[in-house]
Every structure is written in C-alpha cells, then in structure tokens.
Amino acid sequence: MTFRTIEKKNFLPFIEKLMPAMEVVGVREKVEGKYEFALLESPSQLCLDYDVTLLSPKKYFLPPPRKLC
C-alpha cells in the first residue's frame, strides 16, 4: 500500500472536490466551543483544532443495533 500526504494548503480544496461525489463527515462547531461529528455542507465548516466532541463518530461507522427476534 502506498501512503501519500497532503499539504495543509491543499487539504480544503481536496475536501471540496470530494463533496460532490460523496457525503463528507468531519468535526464542525455546533455551538461556540462545542464540536460534533456531522455531515459537512462546505469545507469551511471543517474544524481541525477542536478539543473534545460532544459525541463520537460511532453513528457514521457502525449501523444501529437491530432486534433479531
């Protein structure tokens, strides 16, 4: 597997190019000083210098539990 890095100046344009093709989830500010993982509507919403989020990104990686009976 080849690993590649993206320079900081190219990161937001990269996210912008992904958005028409797929849903992009990232950390964004919900209220002042409070952050959450959520769908991004624009690359400018992405916050990379956050402290702690209100919720984990679990709902984007794991399906909700289902009853089997």
pLDDT tens, residue by residue, 46-60: 999 998 888 888 888
Strand partners, 35: 29, 53
Using DSSP, state whether 60 is helix, strand or coil: helix
pTM for the predicted model, two decimal places = 0.76
Q: How far is CA 12 from the centre of its chain?
A: 12
What's the longest Cα–Cα distance across the chain? 52
Q: From its phi and psi, is residue 16 left (phi > 0), alpha (psi between -120 and 50) or beta?
A: alpha
**Using one digit for the tens of pLDDT, what is the confidence trace for 19-51?**
999 999 999 999 888 999 999 999 999 999 998
